[in-house]
Amino acid sequence: AELDRITGGRGVNYILDTTGVPAVLSGLAKALAVRGVLATVGSAPAGTEVPFEIGLSLPKGWTFKTIIQGSSVSQNFIPRLVELWS
């Protein structure tokens, strides 16, 4: 209700999740604006599934993105971090 008030019912353009909790992610997806982006850096155990309701989500055209290590290429990023630490 508060997000509807703040956004005039349009929803939020960008949401960054830090929890990785399926119920939280599902709720956040509902708060997205048309073409909104939901990104998560939250860690969940392997095999964790997040239920997204497709029927009402489809007209919004929103995006779900996972981010790991700042979306870097880990084969390059990890050796560089080690190099900087040395």
CA atoms within 13 A on the CB side of 4: 3
Instruction: Please state the domain count of the chain.
Output: 1
Answer yes or no: are the C-beta atoms of 24 and 44 closer than 8 Å: no
Walk along the chain (86 residues) and give the pLDDT tens digit of each residue.
798 899 999 999 999 999 999 999 999 999 999 999 999 997 888 899 998 888 878 899 999 998 877 677 878 888 998 999 98
> From CA 46, how far away is CA 43, in angstroms rounded?
9
DSSP line for 8-26: TTS-EEEEEE-S--HHHHH
Q: Give the number of C-alpha atoms closer than 13 A to the C-alpha of residue 16, restricted to the C-beta side.
A: 4
Q: What is the largest CA-CA distance in the chain?
A: 52
Q: What is the pLDDT of residue 10?
A: 95
CATH number for the domain that contains residue 54: 3.40.50.720
Domain extent for 18: 2-85
